[in-house]
Amino acid sequence: MAVNFTVFEDFRPVKGVRLGIAQAAVRYQNRDDMVILELAPGSSVAGVFTTNSFCAAPVQLCRKHMAAASARYMLINTGNANAGTGPSGFRNAEVSCDMLAKATGVTSQEILPFSTGVIGEPLNMAAFERGIPAALENLAEDNWARAAKGIMTTDTLPKGYSREISIEGKAVTITGISKGAGMIMPNMATMLGYIATDAGVSQDLLQQWCKEFADCSFNRITIDGDTSTNDSCMLIATGQSGLVIDDANSAAALALYNALKEAFQILAQAIVRDGEGATKFVTIQVDEAASQKEALDVAYTVAHSPLVKTAMFASDANWGRILAAVGRSGVQNFDLDRVQIYIEDVQIVQDGGRCDSYTEAAGAAVFKQSEFTVRIILGRGDVTEALWTTDLSHEYVTINANYRS
């Protein structure tokens, strides 16, 4: 039951990127579960990865390969995360890259591996023997829609974004796909994101941008506070459109930057909209913080509070729970008398207490909406941060309690 979610269908090919998809039967039969992205020579590739200390074998290997060579292929499987699998798991990831390297005539280091699915099970290597040649057979530029479905695990809907913009008279395409529903529910909902453009961007600049985009998109979404062992977000620039960004401060760079940022944000928000059991899409915005850290501490404490989340589910503007969450967020020397809290344009907390003009009816009207913003003004500085989250519903408990049982 995704919230205000429209399935994206109008994918535009990105020159220099071909996609191949296969039913490899990694874990399940009769569904697409392997995706290969082929990148034209000279493409720049940037990535950000999970901060979980238990990062999975493919994440470790992906980082290693990125440091050693320019990527020519990405190899993605669902059904098995190859996490918590020790040295043999790492070896399996290497073998999967070796297979694809052999089939395509590149070196193994030019392959970036990604896995999502159950934790702790050995990777089914026979599936790679089956899947890799099958996926290579149908490599095509117009395969994004099928790839969006091919990387799904517990997602209820495929997630995509595509747009053509004109920069310096050149048509530039940005197309991306993402997946993820809870954070690691049921150890299968790793967040993955692949965004490609045919603009040309240097490796270093692309990596800097990728980090900045992730920090205002995939790193600002939270369903349940859990962080997967496999989260990866990749940004590809093939340069095939003819547009080359050679000055990071140029108008062209800014236009591309903003367009890519939008792609990241929409793909990240799609994950929240399709969050496990989500019935609400909620923006938590913190204004006037003294630092980014305290803004995020407050925002995440509110976003992760089960009491706030169940109140959202109940469409109950239970402002005391929001206030209490702000209060326990760990901000030092907090002058509570300066705190203002709004839900949309309704002020609920004024100077640390209930706003005189606030009525339960006005609060309930906002909380009944499927989408709204909670804005917390700290009165301590000028830093703003925002993140996106969902409510906590019976469906969330059902999904997460019923898996495997």
331 binds a copy of itself (CB under 8 A): yes
- The span of 3-11, 242-250, 259-267, 323-331 binding a copy of itself (CB under 8 A) equals 323-331
| Residue among 190, 197, 229, 301 flagged as catalytic | 190
Count of residues binding a copy of itself (CB under 8 A)? Answer: 66
- The span of 22-30, 237-245, 262-270, 314-322 binding a copy of itself (CB under 8 A) equals 314-322
CA torsion, ordered 120, 126, 127, 129, to nearest 10 deg:
130
Provide, rounded to whole angstroms, the least separation between the CB of residue 322 and a copy of itself: 10
116 is an active site residue: no
Region of 82 on the Ramachandran plot (φ > 0 left; ψ -120 to 50 alpha; else beta): left
249 annotated to bind ligand: no
402 binds a copy of itself (CB under 8 A): yes
- The span of 113-121, 137-145, 155-163, 201-209 binding a copy of itself (CB under 8 A) equals 113-121
276 annotated to bind ligand: yes
Q: Across the beta sheet with 340-343, what order do the strands follow? A: 221-222, 383-390, 281-289, 371-377, 340-343, 346-350, 353-354
Q: Which of 9, 328, 357, 359 binds a copy of itself (CB under 8 A)?
A: 328
The CA distance from 91 to 75, in Å, is: 15
41 binds a copy of itself (CB under 8 A): no
212 binds a copy of itself (CB under 8 A): no
138 annotated to bind ligand: no
226 binds a copy of itself (CB under 8 A): yes
120 binds a copy of itself (CB under 8 A): yes
175 annotated to bind ligand: no
Q: Which residues contact 65 (CB under 8 A, 6 or more apart)?
A: 71, 97, 108, 109, 110, 111, 112, 113
Question: Binding marks (x or -) toward a copy of itself, 124..163, rule CB under 8 A?
Answer: ----------------------------------------
Provide, rounded to whole angstroms, the least separation between the CB of residue 95 and a copy of itself: 18
State the distance between the two ends of the chain, measured CA to CA, in whole angstroms.
22
The CA distance from 248 to 51, in Å, is: 27
Instruction: Judge contact between 374 and 285, C-beta under 8 A.
Output: yes
405 annotated to bind ligand: yes
Catalytic positions, written as ranges: 190
Question: Interface with a copy of itself by CB under 8 A: which residues?
Answer: 51-55, 83-86, 89, 118-120, 182-187, 224-229, 304-307, 310-311, 313-316, 318-321, 323-329, 331, 334, 336, 349, 351-354, 392-394, 396-398, 400-405
Sequence ranges of the binding site for substrate: 153, 179, 190, 276, 400, 405
